[in-house]
């Protein structure tokens, strides 16, 4: 019989499991916010905004720069969408 204490391992694993569940909920919540904005005609495409959000999130721990380069490929599209969103919610023309 082993006298090894697995308490820290068990606690760490429980925290990892909780954080993963939180992550899954946040993805669903973000998609719902974008889908609601689309349904309200605040944005033109929920899918575009969901993809922007995913790509931005993917860059947070990318130290090689590969994911950042992937994000830079869509930045002009994001800027255009963000300007459209600004104009829609502010009722002001972008200058």
pLDDT surpasses 70 at 90? yes
Q: What is the pLDDT of residue 1?
A: 59
Give me the helices (H) in the chain, please. Answer: 7-39, 46-58, 66-72, 75-90
Q: pLDDT band at residue 25, thresholds of 50, 70 and 90?
A: confident
pLDDT attached to residue 87: 93
d(CA 84, CA 12): 44
CA distances from 21 to 53, 60, 77 (A): 18, 19, 31
Task: Specify the DSSP class assigned to residue 11.
Answer: H
Residues 41-84: tens digit of each pLDDT: 999 999 899 888 888 877 777 677 777 787 788 888 889 999 99
């Amino acid at each position: 019989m082993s006298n090894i204490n697995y308490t820290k391992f068990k606690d760490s694993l429980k925290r990892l499991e909780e954080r993963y569940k939180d992550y899954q909920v946040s993805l669903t919540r973000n998609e719902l916010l974008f889908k609601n904005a689309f349904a309200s005609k605040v944005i033109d495409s929920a899918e575009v905004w969901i993809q922007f959000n995913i790509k931005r999130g993917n860059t947070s721990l990318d130290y090689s720069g590969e994911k950042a380069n992937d994000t830079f490929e869509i930045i002009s599209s994001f800027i255009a969408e963000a300007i459209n969103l600004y104009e829609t919610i502010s009722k002001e023309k972008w200058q």
